[in-house]
Structure 1
């Protein structure tokens, strides 16, 4: 009998440390995608209670955050209008009614994957030493310094937090509609 093995392997093309951190994000992202891939457009846009987020909006929020933290904060790139549209920056992803977007689960997953591929491409330029370089995080109130290593850890934590929300909302939707 073969014993199952769970190990974290660095994402190829990245330094070892960045690759391991991104592998951690990918593990949680895979679980997030598994939660949303079978949802209907109606389920993605369901608001169970006032101030409850819609699952589709949470998925876009995850993409938006990954894009902003990696491209704007870590890489310090100027964000084009096209990038803003792709990542839904400046659109208040959690406040906008997801129904108005016309997206299905496949669209959400496509956006998550496209932004993640850009993250891999950007982080492929980083050495392990650069992961601990302090970056001034702006805009922010208050402004603060962070390292790329902290940002990647934060993205894993953020993804896990919202994955839990998505799982709970999905369970409640399916329990109340079935």
Structure 2
């Protein structure tokens, strides 16, 4: 159980760091701004971070029903490899922070209830093949993924503010 709590603490620390860098005063236009057409926006990144955490940790690791946050909030799907990110609707920063917070609360409840750091989970792909994941892989994937995209969100703030000087 200590290993599981360590992973959850690492996830919280990473989130706290990049969210702190974003600050509290982001405007709606800053949250929606895309550096290029179909590019990343802070709002879409925040939804995507919550989506990936919920998918891998709630759905795959713990068997919770899948909820398409990207489709619900962004009214479109992200193709991160094709670099097609929908412009998010106009929501204030507290909306996105609440989405992240409720996702994290559920992660802590579900993952914290697992009895072994050796927990494994299976994902069945669309082609019917099964893929098994360890909890260690799942937690590491989500931590790294969040740090990656959290850094992108911070960079987008810096780019906008530098351009407006």
- The residue correspondences of 1:19-58 to structure 2 (distance < 5 A) are 19-36=5-22, 37-58=24-45
Aligned to 1:96: 86
Among residues 133, 142, 148, which one is paired with 1:155 in the alignment?
Answer: 142
Specify whether residues 49 and 89 from structure 1 end up closer, same or farther in structure 2 by C-alpha distance, changes over 3 A only.
closer
Structure 1 stretches of 4+ with a deviation exceeding 4 A read: 140-143
CA deviation after TM superposition for structure 1 residue 89, in Å: 5.2
- Name the counterpart of 2:82: none
- Across the two proteins, how many residue pairs are aligned to each other? 155
Residue 17 of structure 1 deviates from its aligned partner by: 0.7
**What are the within-5 Å matches in structure 2 for residues 1-178 of structure 1?**
15-36=1-22, 37-79=24-66, 83-84=67-68, 87-88=69-70, 91-93=76-78, 95-98=85-88, 101-127=89-115, 129=116, 131-139=117-125, 143-178=130-165
The answer to whether the Cα contact below 8 Å between 2:38 and 2:87 also exists between their aligned partners in 1 is: no
**What TM-score, normalized to structure 2?**
0.84
TM-score normalised by length of structure 1? 0.78
Q: What is the distance in 1 between the residues matched to 2:136 and 2:126?
A: 19
Structure 1: unaligned runs, 5 residues or longer: 1-14
CA–CA distance in structure 1, aligned partners of residues 26 and 41 of structure 2:
12
Gaps of 5+ in 2: 80-84
* 1:109-141 superposed Cα distances (whole Å, 9 cap, x missing partner): 0110011000111112112x3x32332223367
